[in-house]
Amino acid sequence: MVQHSPSKTEYRRAFRPRLQPETYVSLSDYRICRRLKESSHNSDVFHWQSSEDEDETPSMTPRPSTAPVHIFRHEKLVEKFKKKQKDELKVNLKSIERATNTNSNAKTRYEEKEIQTSNRTLTNGSEGAISEKSKKKIGYKFKKVPKYVPKPSSAPTKSLSTKPKIQSKPFIAYGYKDSELETGRKKTYNVLASDQIYDSALRAQKRRQAVIHDNEQQEKDIPLWERRQKALFNDRRNIFCRESQLQKARLARQTSAWDTEYRSKFIGFPPEEFDRKLEALKAVRRSAEY
């Protein structure tokens, strides 16, 4: 019998598993209360949206005494938030009223100034001094619309201006040559290159041609013995490549022969032939034993 050490027993006595904590109990109570109220289908229980009669009715219904503390705290926070919203609305309404009052005062002042200016012009007699000619000039002139007169059939008809249609160049997006085959076959004009790019391309082409010309000149300047040595080296390399190819062909033949031999020896025999060969092997073993 294995005896436990005193440290383990002491540890177990000191640190026994406690009961469920208070937070878990409060949360479980809250869940039960919520489920009961949701199952009752009362819409007045949860006020998630602002109602029209907030002043008359309270924001949240009173909870029972068995409900946990954090629910009451949540209700208080919601009430405070709604009060803040009401105060902000009142302040905004007052600011709007002030702005409308200032605008109306400004309009009245502007109208009074216009009336004063018109009175001054009347007293000075500016309107009486206007002549009839100026009035005629100020008045609108209505032009008479000419009546429609049908032309005779013998009259020459105006030739319609036939402008030549500008043939738009085929355009294709970059990378869509394979998908758009109709435009991919044609010559496209995606990019309008500048003069600088064209000049740089010409310079690059000249550089490439100069490099090719220099290489050809260097090959001509090589002495004869170097050329022969290079030719011999190339010949040997070609011979080696040919020999390697022949060796590969031989190996392939050998492997093919081995494959055929393997298949001839280890073929899927029919059951009668397989039994016959087994009996022959057994007979050979018996003769060897005797």
> So where are the chain's domains?
7-40+56-108, 233-289
pTM, rounded to two decimals: 0.19
CA distance 161 to 153: 21
| Nearest residue to 86 (alpha-carbon basis) of 111, 55, 40, 45 | 55
pLDDT at residue 191 in the model: 54
CA distance 230 to 228: 5
Give per-residue burial for 145-170: e unless 16+ CB within 10 Å, then b: eeeeeeeeeeeeeeeeeeeeeeeeee
CA distance 111 to 101: 16
pLDDT at residue 141 in the model: 57
pLDDT at residue 210 in the model: 94
pLDDT at residue 236 in the model: 82
CA distance 239 to 236: 5
Q: Give the residue ranges of the chain where pLDDT is below 70.
A: 1-21, 40-70, 107, 118-150, 152-197, 254-271, 274, 290
pLDDT at residue 72 in the model: 74
Check residue 131 and report its DSSP letter. -
As a residue count, the chain comes to: 290
* Residue 25 and residue 70 in contact, taking contact as beta carbons nearer than 8 Å: no
Q: What are the tokens at 234?
A: 């190339």
Q: Count Cβ atoms below 10 Å from residue 13 Cβ, excluding itself.
A: 8
pLDDT at residue 45 in the model: 52
Element (H, E) at 100: helix 69-124
| Nearest residue to 195 (alpha-carbon basis) of 186, 203, 187, 205 | 203
